[in-house]
Structure formats: C-alpha cells, structure tokens
Amino acid sequence: MTAETDPNGDSTTLAYDDRGQLVTIIDALSQTTRYHWSEGGQLLREELPDGRDNRYSYDDAGRVTGFTDSGDKKITFARNIFG
C-alpha cells in the first residue's frame, strides 16, 4: 500500500496487486474504490464508493469494445480500418 497526502493534509491510500495494477483506492473520506483486472491486464470492473459498478469488455486484440454502467447503460466502441 502507498499513502499520498495532498497539500491540505488529506491522505489517499493506494493498493496494488503483484502485477503493479491498482486494485484499491481509499480516499480521505474513507471511501473505497476497487478495480478488478483480467489475467491479461485489462480493467474488467470498477466498484465505486456509492455502490455503482462499471464493467468493460474487450475484443481479441485487447482493445476496449464496451462499457456498461450499474444502470445497464451500455456504450459500444466501433473501429474502422484505421483503428
């Protein structure tokens, strides 16, 4: 875990997994955000302090293809031949 203190003296704690990926943030108000990663290092899900849960999807090349929020609103990303 790593703690960072801003100029106002408020502390934020960051925790990382064995791969160096951010897994937890605890802010100065003790609110926790959690991140879940795939074996390939892609962000799959984030759990926000207010209970919202966001999810990400990827194609076979590892590019993000979609985002779904806790209200099941989905954004899909499309690419053309240029990427």
Asked if residues 64 and 56 have their Cβ atoms less than 8 Å apart, the reply is yes
pTM, full prediction = 0.81
Tell me the pLDDT tens digit for each residue of 33-63: 999 999 999 999 999 999 999 999 999 988 9
Quote the mean pLDDT of the chain: 92
